[in-house]
Chains A and B, each alone.
Chain A
Amino acid sequence: MSALAYQLVPVSGWNPLVLILLALIVGVLVYMIYRLGNHSYKETKYKREPFLSGNSPADDPDSLHIGGSNLYWGFTRALKRYFEPLVRGHTGLLNDYLYWFVITVVVIMVVLYFV
């Protein structure tokens, strides 16, 4: 900070006393918010386990696996019109994938040539 600014505001943000004071104020605010919480919560053996109709997750660990498709289904549903042609393009044939690769490389080289 410039000397003039320091004269106007003698205490800078890097002053450790200021930081300690701020930490105390934030700590008091955090404690006040914590006090508003529910204190009757009791932790028990099964409380945090996922609900699997009463069954134990240990019996079927695969049931706990969340696949990627579970997470991004919203995107695929919203972009279905653009997603379905792409799915149709995945024929599973290596030759088709190589043709796409060659065509893409050619297009890129042509674009780069003229740019």
Chain B
Amino acid sequence: MELSKTFDKSLWVFHVNSGSCNACDIEIVASVTPRYDVERFGIKLVGTPRHADVLLFTGPVIKKTKERVLRVYEQTPDPKVVMIIGNCASTTGVYYDSYAVEGPIDTLLPDDANLIYVNGCPVRPENIINGVKEAWLYLEELRGDQG
């Protein structure tokens, strides 16, 4: 995945709910509201993964959404970053023992996916903004590795 410095500017985000209880989803929307306002960084929610730079996954992957999650991931053009929002998405959280749960998101995605974990139940909007900052630092590191 070739990265340029311009990739950090105004990251457009597509949110995928892969089986969440909606708490993290509401916190994502709250981070876009004037109180926390990620839009001041040029970050906005888009309606199609074709326009997205960042994929936000919430909730554990359940059996019905497994194929859909993979499909959306592949339909997002490179370069892309995946932000795994919430305890359920990173470790299945409170649903660890459920018959319907396939597993955490990172077990489904390819090994070369760029993953940023933002934990919480639900995630605080400040933590989401911190996750975006971590994503920028991670991308800077990746660009350094690419020379």
- Which A residues form the contact surface with B (CB < 8 A)? 38, 40-42, 44-47, 49, 51, 53-56
Contacts and interface: CB of A to CB of B under 8 A. Distances in A.
B78 A54 contact: no
- Closest 6 pairs (CB-CB, A-B): A54-B68, A46-B74, A46-B71, A44-B74, A47-B74, A54-B72
A56 B65 CA distance: 12
9 contacts: A44-B74, A45-B74, A46-B70, A47-B75, A49-B71, A51-B49, A54-B67, A54-B68, A54-B71
B50 interface: yes
Contact of A40 (B1, B49, B71): B1
Contact of B69 (A41, A49, A51, A54): A54
Contacts of A51: 48-50, 72, 75
A46 B66 CA distance: 13
A38 B2 CA distance: 8
A55 B2 CA distance: 29
Given A40-B2, A47-B74, A51-B48, 14 more contacts: A40-B1, A41-B78, A45-B74, A46-B71, A47-B75, A49-B71, A51-B75, A54-B16, A54-B65, A54-B69, A54-B71, A54-B72, A55-B68, A56-B67
A38 B65 CA distance: 31
Interface of B: 1-2, 16, 48-50, 65, 67-72, 74-75, 78
A51 B16 CA distance: 13
Contacts, number: 33
Contacts of A45: 74
Contacts of A53: 68
Contacts of A42: 78
Nearest to B71: A46
Contacts of B70: 46
A105 B62 CA distance: 68
B78 A40 contact: yes
A49 B78 CA distance: 15
Nearest to B50: A51
A58 to B, nearest CB: 11
Nearest to A38: B2
Contacts of A47: 74-75
Contacts of B68: 53-55
